[in-house]
Amino acid sequence: MGDLHIARRERLGGLVADQGADAALVTRLVNVRYLTGLDSSNAALLVRPDGTAVLCTDGRYAGMAAAVCPELECVVDRAVALTLTARAVKDGAGRLAFEAHDVTVELHVKLAAEAPGPGLVPLGRAVEELRKIKDEAEIALLREACAITDRAFDAVLPRLRPGVTEREIATALERTMVDLGAEKPAFESIVASGPNGAFPHHHTGDRVIAAGDLVTMDFGALYDGYHADMTRTVAVGTLADWQRDVYDLVQRAQQAGLDAVRPGADTKAIDAAARNVIVDAGHGDDFPHGLGHGVGLEIHEAPLMGYDRTGKLEGRVPVTVEPGVYLGGRGGVRIEDTLVVRPGGPELLTQTSKELLVV
């Protein structure tokens, strides 16, 4: 991936030049990983307008850095941000752009002492913006993360029956994903049964699943740094009319959302396409979250798709579409896919069936 990382640093360098800064100090670890390939708990990167860069990490990761990004100059020091700020000043940088959404007030005081005068200027979320549109190598990793997620669902579904607990299903999904090649779960799996399904982000617990429950499973695999995200709701034992009605409603809303996904579409309009289906059925108040979010090196990243978020979708942007309806005391339904925006319509990465299953 060396060439990819070089190209990413050159794109960032262009943005740094546009901002009139002399260099950018990248401190968010996920952004350092995106720009170098180095996955560590302590590293920072100094990027100049021409795309050349200096990496700083501590002794635990120096060997890994040499292996992963041998093309980069690497300074070994524990105080990564301070070391690179001193380096920028020494190289003659007057304006150093920094990630204000990451640097703490405490660190900012130290950096400002190192780079006085006009010194530190905000970079904004420039690297997050670059990360939004994925290259095909990244999409291939996401595709594999989602395929593992699909296979784990198929493997664990036979275990879903009255008498099993939410936690047993969550653990089985997570263990199966790792057995199938995932690094680990992409996030804490949600298994919400019966009335617990009314909480969109229920904390999986020891509730025993019973006949007549709807069970919502929201989970995904992490594969080589990339996060899959899928939700399916399944009925156990029997199916009441209201459960079928709510399922049909959410399924229609999800399809309307998928149909609205295309390059150039406004994220607010995509949210509205799905949300209007639910509002028209009189359940607008029962859908209290946004329609979806970007996925990649983070489980939630740009772009966010909500009723209060504007912005245009572009090709090669992976997003989720995940409407839900939650009825207090009774239960809920959510259906979520991870997909990639493509000119001819979205490429679904999670491919598990959305037909209503009664197990």
Question: How many CA atoms lie less than 13 Å away from 80 in the CB half-sphere?
Answer: 24
Q: Which stretch binds Zn ion (CB under 5 A): 58-66, 81-89, 202-210, 222-230?
A: 222-230
Query: Taking the complex as a whole, how short is the minimal distance between the CB of residue 126 and Zn ion, in angstroms?
Result: 24
Task: Identify the residue among 168, 218, 298, 337 touching Zn ion (CB under 5 A).
Answer: 218
DSSP state of 194: G
Taking the C-alpha atoms of residue 108 and residue 104, their distance in angstroms, rounded to an integer, is 6
216 binds Zn ion (CB under 5 A): no
CB nearer to Zn ion: pick between 8 and 268 = 268
CB nearer to Zn ion: pick between 40 and 338 = 338
Tell me how many degrees the CA angle 92-94-98 measures, rounded to the nearest 5.
110
For Zn ion, what does the binding mask look like between residues 42 and 61, x meaning CB under 5 A?
A: --------------------
301 binds Zn ion (CB under 5 A): no
Tell me how crowded residue 290 is: count the other CB atoms within 10 A of its CB.
Answer: 19
Query: Taking the complex as a whole, how short is the minimal distance between the CB of residue 219 and Zn ion, in angstroms?
Result: 7
Per the CB < 8 A criterion, the answer to whether 202 and 208 are in contact is no
Q: Which stretch binds Zn ion (CB under 5 A): 71-79, 161-169, 197-205, 214-222?
A: 214-222
350 binds Zn ion (CB under 5 A): no
Task: Identify the residue among 114, 229, 298, 337 touching Zn ion (CB under 5 A).
Answer: 229
CB nearer to Zn ion: pick between 120 and 333 = 333
320 binds Zn ion (CB under 5 A): yes
Which residues in 201-229 are b (16+ Cβ under 10 Å) and which e?
Answer: ebebeebebeeebbbbbbbbbbbbbbbbb
Per the CB < 8 A criterion, the answer to whether 337 and 350 are in contact is yes
Q: With CB under 5 A as the rule, give the number of residues binding Zn ion.
A: 5
22 binds Zn ion (CB under 5 A): no
For the CA atoms of 81, 82, 84, 88, the dihedral, rounded to the nearest 10 degrees, stands at: 130
Q: What's the chain's Rg over C-alpha atoms?
A: 23
In the complex, which residues of this chain contact Zn ion (CB under 5 A)? 218, 229, 231, 320, 336
